[in-house]
Amino acid sequence: MAVPGGGAAAALALTLLLLLRSCVSGATHASSALRHAVPRGDAGGGLCGQLLLPLGYPCTEHTVETDDGFLLSLQHIPHGKNGVADNTGPPVFLQHGLFQGGDTWFINSAEQSLGYILADNGFDVWIGNVRGTRWSKGHSTFTVHDKLFWDWSWQELAEYDLLAMLSYVYTVRQSKILYVGHSQGTIMGLAAFTLPEITKMISAAALLCPISYLDHVSASFVLRAVGMHLDQMLLTMGFHQLNFRSDMGVQIVDSICDDGHVDCNDLLSSITGENCCFNGSRIDHYLEYEPHPSSTKNLHHLFQMIRKGTFARYDYGLWGNLRRYGKLSPPPFDLSSIPESLPMWMGYGGLDALADVTDVARTVKELRSTPELLYISGYGHIDFVMSVKAKDDVYVDLMQFLRLRANGSLHSSY
């Protein structure tokens, strides 16, 4: 669906403006928390300096430039806290989800977070951070204040960011890479795996809450935002960065929560669905790092998927598609073109309101090979990365899969 023009665009923009003005005086509990949280990502020192080095884990910062000029931050944890420096295991690359950054893999304790657990069990861990996150705010030409800095969707994250980051790790290690993604990190992965220049660098892929189709999303907050055409209104009004820590972002949350259609007393559940094992007592700590910014165009692309039921490139409208793709419609990402030889593992939950089990089943059906599946009926979208029980419920099975596909031996205490 193209961004509306003319009178329709003006009407949408006016609607949003009135909604935002009506919310200035009132604020939900969730938006108040967002407004008062101080993001640690802006404090300097990088992800390594803020989360890993203080706990005694080796960690180095790296910068990679994409073909379209974005400067991305990578972190490298070569071994665990008690590991041996010259005994580096197989490389595993972790890719975060929407409105998250590389910190998501370390935001719980060292005993509960996948990033720490992998390092402590002999893996050579690399952390990706896509453009626009607080860890990756650089560009060779633009600044975050420029419209063109935010002119991208998950399509560019797959075709440019992943290519650049994986190529860097592949060059450094001279070895194929184990890929682990969550949520948007799985959208990026599945799209990227249709590209031979990327799959040649991947030895296996593990996808947490895999998404390629979104037509069965049931999250009330998301459906309300789609229904009110939030994405199109923001683009029409010229808001190209989507930052829920900004005054505008907080007012957007209020405008959705205050109209009576969405119960935002538990904002996380209204966005992702119920989560069984999320530690709510740590919410203030989580808000020191998340949510990260993204682009409005990225949100628009995701909402296109929900409205159309497709897994395709960004829809620029008829004429825009002709100029960009040479076709009236955006070309799909063909899941059947992912090599049958690529081993895949998927973990998904019965409470997930974003990666719905029906959509996961459709994804699996379109793949040429059958992935290994871990289904947990009582798990939600965030549980797979933040559950206090994920170590036993998810990561045992995940690491068994990774070990069997690793190039070389692993010395594990898990």
Q: pLDDT (tens digit, 9 = 90+) per residue, 190-223?
A: 999 999 999 999 999 999 999 999 999 999 999 9
- Please tell me the predicted confidence (pLDDT) of residue 251: 84
Rounded to an integer, what distance in angstroms lies between the CA atom of residue 30 and that of residue 268? 9
pLDDT mean over 62-82: 96
Q: Half-sphere exposure of residue 135, counting CA atoms within 13 Å on the CB side?
A: 29
Integer angstrom CA distances of residue 64 from 74, 127, 128, 378: 7, 12, 10, 39
Helix or strand holding residue 307 (H, E):
helix 296-308
Integer angstrom CA distances of residue 206 from 177, 180, 226, 254, 269: 11, 5, 29, 36, 25
- Please tell me the predicted confidence (pLDDT) of residue 33: 55
With a cut of 70, say whether residue 5 has pLDDT above it: no
Residue among 220, 381, 387, 393 flagged as catalytic: 381
Q: Which two tokens stand for residue 96?
A: 């975060």
Q: Which residues pair with 349 in a beta bridge?
A: 376
Integer angstrom CA distances of residue 207 from 253, 297, 327: 29, 24, 31
- Please tell me the predicted confidence (pLDDT) of residue 30: 55
Please write down the long-range contacts of 254-258, taking CB distance under 8 Å and 24 or more positions apart: 254/23, 254/26, 254/27, 254/28, 254/31, 255/16, 255/19, 255/20, 255/22, 255/23, 256/221, 256/224, 256/225, 256/228, 256/230, 257/28, 257/30, 257/31, 257/221, 258/22, 258/23, 258/26, 258/28
Rounded to an integer, what distance in angstroms lies between the CA atom of residue 62 and that of residue 296? 27
Residue among 103, 120, 352, 393 flagged as catalytic: 352
- Please tell me the predicted confidence (pLDDT) of residue 7: 52
Where is pLDDT greater, at 42 or 380? 380
- Whether 352 sits among the annotated catalytic residues: the reply is yes
pLDDT mean over 393-405: 97
Tens of pLDDT, residue by residue over 310-349, are 999 999 999 999 999 999 999 999 999 999 999 999 999 9
Q: 208 with 300: CB under 8 angstroms?
A: no
Instruction: Set out the domains of the chain in order of their start, with CATH numbers.
Output: 44-408 (3.40.50.1820)
- Whether 79 sits among the annotated catalytic residues: the reply is no
* Window from 17-21, 82-86, 128-132, 152-156 with minimum mean pLDDT: 17-21
- Please tell me the predicted confidence (pLDDT) of residue 311: 98
Highest mean pLDDT among 62-71, 74-83, 86-95: 62-71
DSSP 3-state of 278: strand
Q: What percent of the chain has pLDDT over 70?
A: 86
- Please tell me the predicted confidence (pLDDT) of residue 19: 46
pLDDT band at 245 (very low <50, low <70, confident <90, very high): confident
- Please tell me the predicted confidence (pLDDT) of residue 16: 47
pLDDT mean over 34-58: 78
Cis preceding-peptide flag for 291 (omega within 30 of 0): yes
Other residues' Cβ atoms within 10 Å of the Cβ of residue 412: 12
With a cut of 90, say whether residue 409 has pLDDT above it: no
- Whether 263 sits among the annotated catalytic residues: the reply is no
